[in-house]
Amino acid sequence: MHTRKIVTVIGARPQFIKASAVSAVLAESPHLHEVMIHTGQHFDANMSAVFFDELGMRAPDHCCGIHGGAHGAMTGRMLIEVERILVDEAPDALLVYGDTNSTLAGALAAVKLGIPVAHVEAGLRSFNMAMPEEINRILTDRISNWLFAPTAGAVAHLTGEGVAVARIKEVGDVMFDVARRHGARCAPDEGLLAELARRHGVSPNSYCLATIHRAESTDHPARLRAICDALISFAHELPVIFPVHPRTRQSMHALGLMDRLAGTVLLVDPLGYRDMVQLEKFAALIVTDSGGVQKEAFFHQVPCVTLRDETEWTELVDAGWNRLAPPNNAGAMLSVMRAAVGTRGRSAAPYGDGNAAGHIVACLEQGLA
């Protein structure tokens, strides 16, 4: 088999983490050569470069530097730039991850050039078309040739939508691969947790880790206020550590919420992956609206409360590891958080064997042979 070229398009924090698993396996393949495009959607050092460093990824081959602006403008600029690079690189396939504007722009640019598309994390559905992520993932699945589904539920969504079974591969979740590789390494008495213990008296297994970044939380003042009220109340019972995403910081700042939180909640800048995994692993509770963080809570066997109306990762709710708390009522969120501390879900293994990346690369090698 001749060496085939795969162009990967990534641009947002969770995509760097997911791609780190697949890129490591691709680098070992004698048959496939990867060229990486970073759209620039996330660009701060602590939202981008830190993951390349910590997860051992080489620098991207192309950096488009596109971020900010409305969804349409951002996606449109990415489409123009990715198309230009694809014409130049003439790859045999394009690889995209998840559900961001970078995912959709990459897939759309490729399909129009007749380049087959592989979508990692295919088949996830929230059934909420008000979410930009839901639109991106449905459209990307529709135009992909390889649909790499993380779970049996994702496969069922795709077959239910009439996608040909031959295009769907249930490979497991690439984030499980990464968590297995990095999760085992951290101890509670080093790094950031040791520093938080020294400076703020936080002890392992006796704090709550919170992350909020989704537009449905940050762009609705009443919801964001309710979330902050719930976190402030909860912080009187259990220390709350909150790494603040840039978009959330901006919204909270505009609403005067940063100052209100700062007295009781430990606000920190976005964390690198290693610090994040450490804080997840030794948390008593994780409270989040993140897809990735919900799963990582389960990987580290920590109970989770998801501050959303629905979740794509329903198997964790079914198994009792995750509870939904819609972010419209601080008192109700607080009750769910209190009830979740100290609980454990049922034993479950919905995310594959920890070698999703290996299965993805094997499929691509076979498909492009």
Residue 30: CB atoms within 10 Å? 8
Of the residues 67, 157, 182, 213, only one is catalytic, namely: 213
Would you count residue 311 as binding ligand UDP (CB under 6 A)?
no
CB of residue 186 to ligand UDP, shortest distance in Å = 12
Would you count residue 292 as binding ligand UDP (CB under 6 A)?
yes
| Residue 116 or 123 with smaller CB distance to ligand UDP | 123
Sketch the per residue contact string, 196 through 215, with ligand UDP: x for CB under 6 A, - otherwise: ---------------x-x--
| Residue 210 or 337 with smaller CB distance to ligand UDP | 210
Indicate which single residue of 64, 93, 109, 271 sits in contact with ligand UDP (rule: CB under 6 A): 271
Indicate which single residue of 170, 229, 296, 315 sits in contact with ligand UDP (rule: CB under 6 A): 296
Would you count residue 270 as binding ligand UDP (CB under 6 A)?
yes
182 an active-site residue?
no
Strand partners, 356: none
Residue 254: CB atoms within 10 Å? 11
Within 135-265, strands assigned E span 146-149, 168-170, 208-211, 240-243
Would you count residue 13 as binding ligand UDP (CB under 6 A)?
yes
Tokens of 206: 């006796």
Q: Count H helices and E strands in the chain, helices first.
A: 17, 13
Q: What are phi and psi of 169, to 5 degrees?
A: -130, 120
The sign one gets for the Cα dihedral 117, 121, 126, 128 is negative
Cβ neighbours for 287, distance < 8 A, ≥ 6 positions apart: 208, 209, 210, 211, 231, 234, 240, 304, 305, 307, 337
Of the listed pieces 192-200, 288-296, 314-322, 347-355, which binds ligand UDP according to CB under 6 A? 288-296
Q: Contacts with ligand UDP in 15-44 (CB under 6 A)? A: 17
- Annotated active-site positions, please? 213
List residues near ligand UDP by CB under 6 A: 13-14, 17, 211, 213, 243, 270-271, 273, 276, 290-293, 296
